[in-house]
Amino acid sequence: MNSIPNSAGFNLTGGKIGVLVLHGFTGSPVSIAPWANYLNTLGYTVSAPCLPGHGSSWQQMNKTTWQDWYKAAEQELLELQKNCDRVFIAGFSMGGALALRLCQIRSSEVEGLLLLNPSIHDRRLFLKLTPFLKHFISSVKKGPTDIAAPNPIKHAYHRTPLKAFDSLRKLWQIVERDLYLIDLPIMVAYSINDHAVDPENSMTVIDNIFSVDIREVIFENSYHNVAIDYDCEQLNAESKLFIQDVLSGELKRGSDFNETDLVDAEFDSIVSGLSLDESSPTTYLDELDGIYEVERFKPPNPHRFILNKNQRLSLVGLTSSLVYLLAYNLTDFEVLGLWPVVIGVSASVANLIWDTARKDDDYEDGATL
């Protein structure tokens, strides 16, 4: 069953420059079709696949994982390379995470990377329950589509499949961990009013990749899905300019890591350890290190903590009281009310405090002044 009209993937024939365009989580090629079509009008060959589990039903998507989505995207990249000399990858939302992963693995085969509101993490604490909830709840309802323009076309599911979402979270972890592998020219475009993906995702990408040529684009009038929102023309114009600048050589592959600086630093390190006085086998810095090593504070090795008889009895009493309290609240067990809990906890805590405090005095039992 296909619940999203016109959601099939498509290929648009063009010249020897290819662009792979990847849609987002629970979405379909409908969401990036205007972007892909525009790139094709520039003469580029464009591939916009419908990723496994998408464009059909959320139930079907729950049977897929991020490895399935990645494999499909990688296959489309390989097919594009057969007919194109140079290839770019463009990714929207989750498609941005897949695009980053493709470039982390196949960096040498890609000319440049275009990211639109990429998703690579979600810091909300309640999402940590997803691995547990997915076994009991198949899906949860999504909010309204995150598009500022009125009457948006249907392009995504109205529910979020939890098993698939948990798999997406695993993809995020890998992509964020390996951001340092990205050294391609990159355009990171994001909406400041995105209600689906926190713009902090884009900042994380910008701050952690090693590319020297990073073009940052900001949309002020659109929400999450810019390609079918108010700023679609700005997206098209910036994409055109970025690809042209990469092709012309104005934007180049490279990283902030300077190999020459590393060689210079290693040379300085070696020279600083040399001494012109052959009678002295060490340098002044070596002597300082030796003094520091001798005089630095060495923490004592702590003894293993062992409970005495009174402390063990107190812990048994405290545990028994808590078990009684649990049984009192969860069952009809009401023999003596809550008094055993009050007495047991008070006596156990008091005994622990008294016994622990006695450890610091200098008196033995029965000793006198």
Whichever domain contains 107, its CATH number is 3.40.50.1820
- Tell me: do 314 and 266 sit in the same domain: no
Which residue from 27, 67, 327 is spatially nearest to 158, judged by alpha carbons?
27
Supply the range of the domain harboring residue 326.
Answer: 309-358
In whole angstroms, give the CA distance from residue 119 to residue 134.
21
Contact 88, 20 (CB under 8 A): yes
Beta-strand pair 139-141/17-22: unpaired
- Tell me: do 291 and 313 sit in the same domain: no
Which residue from 208, 202, 132 is spatially nearest to 165, judged by alpha carbons?
132
In whole angstroms, give the CA distance from residue 279 to residue 128.
63
Which residue from 191, 184, 218 is spatially nearest to 101, judged by alpha carbons?
184
In whole angstroms, give the CA distance from residue 285 to residue 23.
57
- Tell me: do 65 and 171 sit in the same domain: yes
Domain membership of residue 300 (yes or no) is no
- Tell me: do 90 and 201 sit in the same domain: yes
Domain membership of residue 3 (yes or no) is no
Whole-number percent of the chain with pLDDT over 70 = 76
At residue 271, the pLDDT reads: 47
Chain CA centroid to CA 227, Å: 24
Q: Which two tokens stand for residue 245?
A: 């600048």
Domain membership of residue 4 (yes or no) is no
Q: How many other CB atoms sit within 10 Å of the CB of residue 158? A: 14
pLDDT for residue 72 is more than 50: yes
- Tell me: do 148 and 69 sit in the same domain: yes
Domain membership of residue 121 (yes or no) is yes
Domain membership of residue 102 (yes or no) is yes
At residue 278, the pLDDT reads: 43
In whole angstroms, give the CA distance from residue 315 to residue 309.
10
Q: How many domains does the chain have?
A: 3
Beta-strand pair 112-116/45-48: unpaired
- Tell me: do 244 and 265 sit in the same domain: no
- Chain segment 345-357, per-residue pLDDT in tens: 777 777 767 766 5
Sign of CA dihedral 147, 160, 114, 18: negative
- Tell me: do 228 and 275 sit in the same domain: no
- Chain segment 92-130, per-residue pLDDT in tens: 999 999 999 999 999 999 999 999 999 999 999 999 999
Domain membership of residue 5 (yes or no) is no
In whole angstroms, give the CA distance from residue 111 to residue 211.
12
Range 256-278 average pLDDT:
46
Domain membership of residue 229 (yes or no) is yes
Lowest-confidence pick of 85-89, 90-94, 213-217, 307-311:
307-311
Between these two residues, 321 and 204, which has the higher pLDDT value?
Answer: 204
Ramachandran angles phi, psi of 160, nearest 5°: -105, 115
- Tell me: do 115 and 220 sit in the same domain: yes
Residue 300 — pLDDT band, cuts 50, 70, 90? Answer: low
Domain membership of residue 301 (yes or no) is no
Range 125-154 average pLDDT:
90
First to last CA, the chain: 91
- Tell me: do 241 and 266 sit in the same domain: no
- Tell me: do 243 and 101 sit in the same domain: yes
- Tell me: do 237 and 326 sit in the same domain: no
